[in-house]
Structure 1
Amino acid sequence: MSETTIDVRDVPPSDRHPKIHAEFEALDSGDALVLVNDHEPKPLFYEMQAEVDAFDADGYEVEQRGPNEYRARFPKQ
């Protein structure tokens, strides 16, 4: 089990979700994508929960580390 971290704070908003989905798709089963973002990624969580069968919603975690830094862990089944 490994983790891949991507920081999307400097990625244009319109490009964020496609980039995140591509990174998640490239993971092996049991791995996780750690997303560094400037806001809590609740909309992305709901999107992944509804559309991505391999997303382990029960294992999702998010932590605010600063006013503009959230780290969210998206595990893959």
Structure 2
Amino acid sequence: MSQANAEADLIDVRTIPPRARHPQIFAKANALAVGESFVIVNDHDPRPLHYQLQAEYPGQFSWTYLEAGHEVWRVALGREKAA
């Protein structure tokens, strides 16, 4: 995978102002085709985002913790089915 592809498949929300995080993640998630995914990197557990996704888009997205540490959390968010 090229560096450009790796960056396209990752969103590091630690560098995004808090009020802009969810809108940017939702925009990226909604742009996914079925079977595609990206990784969210955060400085805390993004569980509230997971609950919001489940409520607004039930069954459409997968959520897999890749890293759940004290300083860095990484979650793979994937499109399971079309809207």
Matched, 1:61 2:64: yes
Q: How many residues were matched structurally?
A: 72
Match of 1:30, SS?
coil
Give how far 1:68 is off.
Answer: 2.2
Residue 67 of structure 1 aligns to which amino acid in structure 2?
A: H
Alignment RMSD (CA, Å)? 1.9
Structure 1's unaligned 5+ residue stretches are none
Give how far 1:69 is off.
Answer: 1.1
Give how far 1:74 is off.
Answer: 1.2
More helix by share: 2
Bigger Rg over Cα: 2
Q: Report sequence identity in percent.
A: 42
Q: Tell me the TM-score normalized by structure 1.
A: 0.82
- Take 1:39 and 1:46, find their aligned partners in 2: how far apart are those partners? 15
Return structure 1 stretches of 4+ with deviation > 3 angstroms: none
Q: Tell me the TM-score normalized by structure 2.
A: 0.76
Question: Residue 18 of structure 1: which of 15, 18, 23 is its match?
Answer: 23
Pairwise mapping of residues 20-59 of structure 1 onto structure 2 (< 5 A)?
20-53=25-58, 54-56=60-62
Give how far 1:33 is off.
Answer: 2.1
